[in-house]
């Protein structure tokens, strides 16, 4: 059953169209990703879902309710992570949890939440003294304190180090396992691929694709990336003619071939025929990044080039991002 229905939503700021007819529905119990580059309209879209912005056209329903007209009811069902918000510096974790619990009819057990989020040792710490990761976890706790059926997490892992990001992913899976539907805004491909059951790719205010991460990758022109350094020069045109090859690129004597499964054997046969050895041969599946590039015509902040370099170094991609401020409609 769909718990969130977004249908034909449009939203302009002054003359600038930020969201241009976005539609999707989120089934109860899934982690649904909204993925797109900076300024694509992701935050505006989820702010319409939260009732923080009024769409110019289209409809939004959360558990059948209108997030603007039925705002009070919707806040009892939908928890939003207060990413950009500050709490009073002197408020302790315990006080913040008690204060937010008082807003809801059926608050969750604040101490239990603090324990689940690894904040039990920080209950008497003041907000101003918390680390970035601890503030992040407190905001997740506050999003969950009303026992919501659905939680909206917007760029949750922004600014976290790789360890913090992975811990947060485990937490998001834990939230879903506890029965809460998750609407996750991200522009980390790896995050969407790892966590989301389905992903809406938004570009320039429109949904350009909606599928499982695997389905999106299948839509990409190439599904396999082969990299190696040939022991002697190879003619790129010979490689380009092999079955399934979508592209061939050379950088610092290292070749990168985007193709299909069939391409791998064809490349190996060609190398054997030419008596060429492939040094540091790597074969990787295409990722959501490649699909994203195909769908939007550009890579994300952890785009194919960055990913390929990271892959060659056997390390995770690193990136930074930014976020816009929020207008309030209550």
Ligand X SMILES: Nc1ncnc2c1ncn2[C@@H]1O[C@H](COP(=O)(O)OP(=O)(O)OP(=O)(O)O)[C@@H](O)[C@H]1O
- The residues that touch ligand X, with contacts defined as CB under 6 A, are 13, 16, 18, 36, 38-44, 187, 322-324, 327
Which of 183, 206, 203, 207 lies closest to 195 in space, CA to CA?
183
Name which of 100 and 188 has its Cβ closer to ligand X: 188
**Closest approach of ligand X to the CB of residue 13, in Å:** 3
CB of 21 to ligand X, least distance (A): 14
> What minimum distance in Å lies between the beta carbon of 33 and ligand X?
13
* E-strand stretches of the chain: 2-13, 16-27, 31-35, 57-62, 78-80, 150-154, 181-186, 198-203, 206-211, 224-230, 247-251, 254-259, 278-285
- Name the pairing type of β-strands 198-203 and 206-211: antiparallel
What's the rounded Cα separation, in Å, for the pair 246 and 135? 45
Cβ-based nearer residue to ligand X, 154 or 290: 154
Q: How far is the CB of 329 from ligand X (least distance, A)?
A: 11
Of the pair 130, 189, the CB lying nearest ligand X is at 189
Whichever of 9 and 18 has its CB closer to ligand X, that residue is: 18
Task: Say if residues 189 and 35 touch (Cβ distance below 8 Å).
Answer: yes
Shortest Cβ 12–ligand X spacing (Å): 9
Shortest distance, CB of residue 55 to ligand X, whole angstroms?
Answer: 12
Helix (H, G, I), strand (E, B) or coil at 263: helix
Strand order in the sheet with 278-285: 247-251, 254-259, 224-230, 278-285
Burial 94-131 (b: 16+ CB within 10 A, else e): bbbbeebbeeeeebbebeebbebbebeebbebbbeebe
Nearer to ligand X, 53 or 308 (CB): 53
Residue (275 or 328) nearer to ligand X, CB: 328
Query: Minimum distance from CB of 6 to ligand X (Å)?
Result: 14
Closest of 113, 154, 159 to residue 137, by C-alpha: 113
- CA gap 188, 201 in Å, rounded: 12
Nearer to ligand X, 240 or 322 (CB): 322
């Amino acid at each position: 059953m769909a718990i969130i229905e977004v249908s034909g939503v449009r939203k302009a700021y002054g003359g600038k169209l930020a969201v241009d007819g976005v539609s999707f529905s989120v089934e109860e119990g899934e982690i649904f990703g909204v993925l797109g580059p900076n300024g694509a309209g992701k935050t505006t879209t989820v702010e319409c879902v939260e009732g923080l912005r009024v769409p110019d056209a289209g409809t939004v329903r959360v558990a059948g309710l209108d997030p603007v007209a039925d705002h009070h009811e919707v806040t009892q069902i939908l928890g939003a992570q207060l990413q950009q918000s500050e709490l009073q510096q002197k408020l302790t974790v315990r006080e913040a949890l008690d204060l937010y619990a008082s807003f809801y009819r059926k608050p969750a057990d604040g101490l239990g939440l603090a324990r689940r989020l690894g904040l039990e040792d920080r209950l008497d710490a003041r907000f101003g003294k918390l680390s970035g990761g601890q503030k992040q976890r407190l905001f997740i706790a506050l999003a969950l304190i009303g026992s919501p059926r659905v939680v909206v997490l917007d760029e949750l892992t922004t600014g976290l180090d790789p360890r913090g990001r992975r811990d947060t992913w485990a937490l998001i899976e834990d939230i879903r396992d506890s029965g809460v539907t998750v609407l996750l805004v991200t522009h980390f491909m790896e995050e969407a691929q790892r966590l989301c059951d389905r992903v809406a790719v938004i570009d320039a205010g429109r949904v350009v694709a909606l599928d499982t991460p695997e389905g999106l990758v299948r839509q990409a022109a190439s599904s396999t990336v082969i990299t190696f350094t040939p022991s002697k020069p190879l003619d790129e045109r010979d490689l380009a003619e092999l079955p399934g090859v979508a592209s061939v690129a050379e950088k610092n004597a290292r070749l990168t071939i985007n193709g299909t499964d069939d391409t791998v054997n064809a490349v190996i046969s060609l190398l054997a025929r030419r008596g060429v050895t492939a040094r540091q041969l790597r074969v990787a599946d295409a990722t959501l990044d490649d699909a994203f590039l195909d769908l939007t015509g550009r890579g994300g902040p952890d785009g194919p080039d960055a990913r390929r370099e990271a892959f060659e170094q056997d390390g995770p991609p690193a990136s930074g991002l930014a976020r816009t401020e929020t207008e309030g409609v209550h």
